[in-house]
Every structure is written in C-alpha cells, then in structure tokens.
Amino acid sequence: MNKMPLIAPSLMCMDLTKLAEQIEFFDDKVGYYHVDIMDGHFVPNLTLSPFFVSQLKKISTAPMDCHLMVTNPEQYVDMLAEAGAAMFSFHAETVNGKAFRLIEDVRKKGMQVGVVLNPETRLQDVEIYLKHIDKVTLMTVDPGFAGQSFVPEVVDKIRQFREFREQHQLEFQIEIDGSCNKKTFSTLLAAGADVLIVGTSGLFNNHPELSVAWGMMMDDIKVAALEVA
C-alpha cells in the first residue's frame, strides 16, 4: 500500500463556535493544524491571527503550521514564535530580496520553515533556497478564499518538485493547499503529495458530525492510496 499522507485541517474552515470540542477530536489524528493568517492586502481577506495561535496552543498538542498570506511576513516572526507556532510558511511571492534573511530569522526563533507557491509561481523561483526549507506548499487554487475550483496545471508542478527533491537528495515535504477532496486525492498522491490540507470540500462539508466527516474523508484517502500503490 502507498504511504498514507499527513492530514492538515484548515482551521479557517472549521466551526469556531465548537473550537475546543473539534480540537480535542483532531489533536491525536493530524499531522499539522493549518492556520491561515491573511492581512487584507496580499489577499483581499482577513482570517486567523497570532492571537488565535496563542489561544489554540492552550488546548492543543499537535503542531501548528502558520500560512502567511501577508505582504510583509517578516513582521510576524516574533509574534508567531511567542504564540507557539511550530512552522512558519511564507509566500514565495512576498520575499524577493529577503528570503535568506527571513529563513535564518525564523530558524533562530525555533520554528521550521515552509514556502508557499501560488499556482503560477515556478519551481525555478524558489530553487535557490529549497535546501533550507522543511516544507513546500503548492496552491492548487488562488490564495485567499475557501471553496475555489482546482487548478489542474499544478499537478505537473507537484511532479517537478518531487523529481527535484529526489535528484538533489533533499527532504522537504510536499504539501497541497486547495480542493483536496475525494475527486483529487488520488491525482495528488500519484503526483507526489506528502501532506494534504483539507477544508470545506474534503472534510467539513462531508457531514455535520465531525467524527463522521473525518471517517468519510479517511476512507476516501485510503481508497486513493490503494489506487496509486
């Protein structure tokens, strides 16, 4: 059987009125919590925050990966380190001229480093610092909003990153953000995905009861893993 991917629930899609209850359910099941932080500038939306991370840290043990959809990610390093984030994932499109300095700063603060690429951003744009990265997140939708349509052109890019990793003997994880669901699981796993971010279409809309929704999702992923084994 093909190796099962890690699962990262997108917390902007959860029912925040049931935060403690849902985190208790997730905590021993997930690879990461995916925490979207948006500034209303890099993307025209506002979601979670460093304060949310600090509150989540009080009730959770699973690592938190913070996805910085912000114009100036360097402004969030200290806040997220103090809040308890495990990984700091910046957008490649925001760090030209400061990527190496940012990566060094994030590591000094005790966090792992991730880089996120919009659908049209190329491997070549981040190749120079990939050896310093713990996780590459490939967006299969435009950033900023849940529930968008899958961009199929990204599948070839997943394969490119997998092949680059093998050729250069690197160890970064390949994570997918956007439209990870029953229709796309097998395609993403076959291309080389290690981590799947699941939101409305892949998890939360499966069923009103979270335990049932999770079971349905895991069944779908197991079927997909068998298909690509």
Residue whose pair of structure tokens reads 């197991």 in the numeric block: 222
| Residues catalogued as catalytic | 36, 177
Q: 70, 39 in Cβ contact below 8 A?
A: yes
Altogether, the residues listed in the chain come to a count of: 229
- Cα 58 to Cα 15, 78, 209, 210: the distances in Å are 18, 18, 24, 21
Alpha carbon distance 219, 209 (integer Å)? 16
